[in-house]
Amino acid sequence: MDEPARYRNKVQMPVGERHGKLITGFYRPRSHDIIPATEPCLAQEVLVDGIIETVRDTAQELGIRAYDEGKHRGILRHVIVRVGRRTKEAMVIIVTRTKNLPHAEKLIQAIREIHPHVISIMHNINERRTNVIMGDVTRNIWGESYIHEKIGDLTFAISARSFFQVNTVQTEKLYEQALKYADLDAEDIVIDAYCGTGSISLFLAQGAKKVYGIEIVPEAVADAKKNAKLNGIENAEFVVGAAEKVMPTWKKDGMKPNVIVVDPPRKGCDEKLLQAMIEMAPERIVYVSCNPATLARDLKILETGGFATQEVQPVDMFPRTHHVECVTLLQREL
């Protein structure tokens, strides 16, 4: 990355208490001890600066207690901020243990007065005794339910629960590399497994005849359809389901994709999905991975199934860490 700082478009901080005061910060490694963040984190987009502190300090003034993991008491669990680096729009998500957010109007007023670029304030409810950050219920308490971000010529609507790459600048490079490896023409049929909110799918749709996206999270599919409409793209279709179950059905129905793109979570692809990809026998597979170890494991299976790994291109998505995303091109051996 040319300028490897201030890149994170999403920041989530836990809320705790120390000496009777609310604190926000980051967990000490391998623990849930909060180290207070006394200055803005140099990895986060500058638009985030001050927003979490405003929520924390206003909650302190209003007597809103932090969530206590050990006792499963208290209210305020996390504060999450999402920003559009290129649109300058921001969303604040306040996560509570309780269904009610006390003094919501005063919190909203404080955020709006100090941070005019905030266009969306959401309340997420997580009543469970868990270390998972967000609960299943999210409600809009002020403004829009989405913010927007631009990558290349496309605009994406991002909701509170949407998956979206945290590094906007490098995401554009990542998608350009995936598009290069896909090497599409106007007659190509593409399957995008683990399509999320459709970000890669819509890039692919600009060069293909048809793109089919598969995603197991219904909210993400709803966002993908919204994003396709937002960009006037009509040759992308999105379905809810597990790719390893959907793709064999499509094969039985006679679908023959020229290219399959996968962008799985860190655990890599389900073995049934890898087998479905092998049986569909596309000309090319583009594998986007955030975990080189599971990527290597899955490439071995695909190579055994008749594909040859041609090239792997790492992308520096998380500067100053050992983490990378890799884009890999595989071609079917004749």
**253-291, pLDDT tens digit by residue?**
999 999 999 999 999 999 999 999 999 999 999 999 999
On whether the CB atoms of residues 183 and 177 are closer than 8 A, the answer is no
Q: Has residue 118 got a pLDDT over 90?
A: yes
Bigger pLDDT: 220 vs 93: 93
Identify the band that residue 124 occupies on the pLDDT scale cut at 50, 70 and 90.
Answer: very high
User: Residue 41 catalytic?
Assistant: no
Chain centroid, CA 105 distance in Å: 29
Q: Does position 334 have pLDDT exceeding 80, yes or no?
A: no
Radius of gyration for the chain, computed over Cα atoms and rounded to the nearest angstrom: 21
Which position has the token pair 């955030």? 290
CB 212 within 8 A of CB 191: yes
Q: CA neighbours within 13 Å on the CB side: how many for 129? A: 6
Mean pLDDT of the chain: 96
Reported as a single tens digit per residue, the pLDDT across 151-181 is 999 999 999 988 899 999 999 999 999 999 9
**Percent of the chain scoring above 90 in pLDDT:** 95
Check the CA dihedral 167-300-207-157 and report its sign. Answer: negative
The DSSP secondary-structure symbol of 272 reads H
* CB proximity list for 51: less than 8 A, separation 6 or greater: 79, 81, 90, 92, 111, 115, 118
d(CA 147, CA 159): 7
Task: Yes or no: say if 261 and 204 are a contact pair by the CB < 8 Å rule.
Answer: yes
Residues 6+ apart with CB under 8 A from 53: 24
Q: Residue 140: pLDDT above 90? A: yes
Q: Which of 138, 200, 116 is closest to 165 using CA atoms? A: 200
Q: pLDDT band for position 38 (50/70/90)? A: confident
Any idea which residue has 């091109």 for tokens?
329
For residues 280 and 298, give the distance between their C-alpha atoms in angstroms, rounded to a whole number.
Answer: 16
- Residue 100, pLDDT score: 96
Give the percent of the chain with pLDDT over 70.
100
Output the pTM of the full model: 0.91
Cα–Cα distances (Å) from 208 to 2, 37, 190, in that order, read 31, 46, 7
Q: Is the dihedral of CA 62, 66, 72, 78 positive or negative?
A: positive
Point out the catalytic residue in the list 195, 269, 290, 326. Answer: 290
Is 319's pLDDT higher than 80?
Answer: yes
User: Could you give all domains of the chain from N- to C-terminal order, each with its CATH number?
Assistant: 10-145 (2.40.50.1070), 165-332 (3.40.50.150)
